[in-house]
């Protein structure tokens, strides 16, 4: 039988849409009936398992799934023996300690002897130990933010993204314990044929990510400025330069990174570039 990569992704929740999206952008399709736990890819040797995110590290460590997509927060909290293969850049959040607004907080030592409610006892425990603080970690599985209000704890340690949940519950973020994003994990010691499939998938993921971080740029430039303008947009190897029908002008085509986008555009304009077009890239193989 030919090898098939079993991929665990979250069934429904904050990771699901982006996990499915990246799979789709990698050109992998599958039919998935509502409520199904498994789906077979139609154009890649893979099978998807739809699971609760908390179970994904364990299933990957046990070999039920070969690879999976999960938040680093869950991965580290579970402490399973799996390999982090690649950061995926979505579901970014932080695990933070928060106290009631206005409470006196002068650093981790203020947590000494306090009760802290969390769903992340391991990560919180490591943070407290690293600051030589002894506190009473009260593990709860959800609605952590209400714990101070109902007298269950004096502080909480929970995931934060926008901060609005803390705000509406009258809490103030005082420490960042851990920063997290979605990652691709794999069972260590995958057999060679599955490793080969993982390599193919990773190649596609990187092409999708590179495309998202870059834009294709076309512009017109006076011939006299070509060298200076070309040096601003070096692209993957060097820009393409084409003669325009109008004498003394050329067109340059290249790729620019999203991070330096506006600074590069300003510099190009200052050098006399005109008619600048910026186009999204669908896939980028570097
Ligand atoms: O059912 P299942 O167990 O699979 O899902 P779940 O309910 O345990 O997890 P889910 O879907 O809520 O989150 C999955 C993963 O998304 C987490 O493990 C994180 O890696 C990531 N993630 C990113 C977040 C958040 N952002 C986030 N904001 N997970 C949870 N939150 C919650 C947080 O717990 C708090 O209640 O959102 C609230 C705070 O959000 P803000 O925007 O108000 O700050
Ligand atoms: Zn969960």
138: which 2 tokens? 């009260």
Across residues 200-205, what is the average pLDDT? 98
Where does ligand 1 bind, in terms of residues with CB under 6 Å? 10, 13-15, 52-54, 71, 73-74, 91, 93, 158-165, 180
Domain that holds residue 112: 93-179
Number of domains composing the chain: 3
Give the nearest ligand 1 atom to 73 CA: 20
Contact 148/183 with Cβ under 8 angstroms? no
- 71 and 196 both lie in a single domain: yes
Helix (H, G, I), strand (E, B) or coil at 193: helix
197 part of a folded domain? yes
Q: Is the predicted pLDDT of residue 286 greater than 90, yes or no?
A: no
HSE, CB side, 13 Å, CA atoms: give it for residue 5.
Answer: 27
- What is the reported pLDDT for 83? 98
Helix, strand, coil share (%) of the chain residues, nearest 5: 35, 35, 35
- What is the reported pLDDT for 47? 96
- 243 and 107 both lie in a single domain: no
Residues with CB under 5 A from ligand 2 (ion): 53-54
Q: Is the predicted pLDDT of residue 34 greater than 80, yes or no?
A: no
Identify the bridge partners of residue 66 per DSSP, sorted by sequence position: none
- What is the reported pLDDT for 237? 94
82 part of a folded domain? yes
- Using one digit for the tens of pLDDT, what is the confidence trace for 80-111? 999 999 999 999 999 999 999 999 999 999 99
Question: In testing the pocket of ligand 1, which one of 8, 12, 14 has its CB within 8 Å of the most ligand atoms?
Answer: 14
| End position of a domain, from candidates 195, 211, 227 | 211
170: which 2 tokens? 């009258």
Name the residue with the closest Cα to ligand 1, atom 13: 14
% the chain with pLDDT above 90: 96
Inter-axis angle of helices 192-212 and 16-25, nearest 10: 100
- 140 and 156 both lie in a single domain: yes
- What is the reported pLDDT for 113? 98
Name the residue with the closest Cα to ligand 1, atom 32: 159
Across residues 248-274, what is the average pLDDT? 96
- 99 and 174 both lie in a single domain: yes
d(CA 2, CA 68): 20
Domain CATH code at residue 260: 3.30.70.120
- Using one digit for the tens of pLDDT, what is the confidence trace for 115-171? 999 999 999 999 999 999 999 999 999 999 999 999 999 999 999 999 999 999 999
286 part of a folded domain? no
Ligand 1 center from residue 152 Cα (angstroms): 21
Ligand 1 center from residue 145 Cα (angstroms): 13
Identify the bridge partners of residue 39 per DSSP, sorted by sequence position: 48
285 part of a folded domain? no
Domain CATH code at residue 59: 3.40.190.10
- 86 and 191 both lie in a single domain: yes
Instruction: Please state, rounded to an integer, the average pLDDT across all residues of the chain.
Output: 96
The backbone torsions φ and ψ at residue 142, rounded to the nearest 5 degrees and listed phi first, read -165, 175
| End position of a domain, from candidates 132, 159, 179 | 179
d(CA 107, CA 137): 17
Name the residue with the closest Cα to ligand 1, atom 17: 71
113 part of a folded domain? yes
């Amino acid at each position: 039988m030919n090898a098939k990569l079993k991929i665990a992704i979250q069934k429904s929740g904050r990771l699901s849409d982006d996990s499915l999206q990246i799979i789709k952008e990698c050109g992998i399709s599958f039919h998935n009936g509502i409520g199904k736990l498994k789906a077979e890819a139609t154009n890649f040797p893979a099978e998807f398992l739809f699971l609760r995110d908390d179970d994904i590290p364990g299933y990957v460590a046990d070999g039920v799934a070969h690879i999976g997509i999960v938040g680093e927060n869950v991965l580290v909290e579970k402490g399973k023996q799996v390999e982090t293969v690649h950061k995926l850049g979505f579901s970014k959040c932080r695990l933070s300690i928060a106290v009631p607004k206005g409470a006196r907080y002068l650093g981790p030592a203020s947590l000494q002897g306090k009760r802290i409610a969390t769903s992340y006892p391991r990560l919180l425990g490591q943070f407290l130990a690293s600051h030589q603080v002894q506190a009473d970690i009260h593990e709860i599985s959800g609605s952590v933010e209400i714990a101070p209000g109902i007298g269950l704890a004096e502080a909480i340690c929970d995931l934060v993204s926008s901060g609005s949940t803390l705000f509406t519950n009258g809490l103030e973020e005082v420490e960042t314990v851990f920063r997290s994003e979605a990652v691709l994990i794999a069972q260590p010691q995958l057999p060679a044929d599955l490793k080969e499939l993982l390599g193919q998938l990773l190649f596609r993921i990187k092409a999708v990510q590179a495309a998202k971080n870059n834009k294709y740029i076309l512009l017109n430039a006076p011939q006299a400025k070509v060298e200076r303008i070309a040096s601003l947009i070096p692209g993957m190897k060097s820009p393409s330069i084409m003669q325009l029908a109008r004498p003394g002008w050329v067109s340059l085509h290249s790729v620019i990174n999203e991070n330096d986008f506006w600074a590069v555009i300003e510099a190009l304009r200052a050098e006399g570039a005109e008619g600048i077009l910026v186009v999204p890239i669908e896939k980028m193989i570097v």
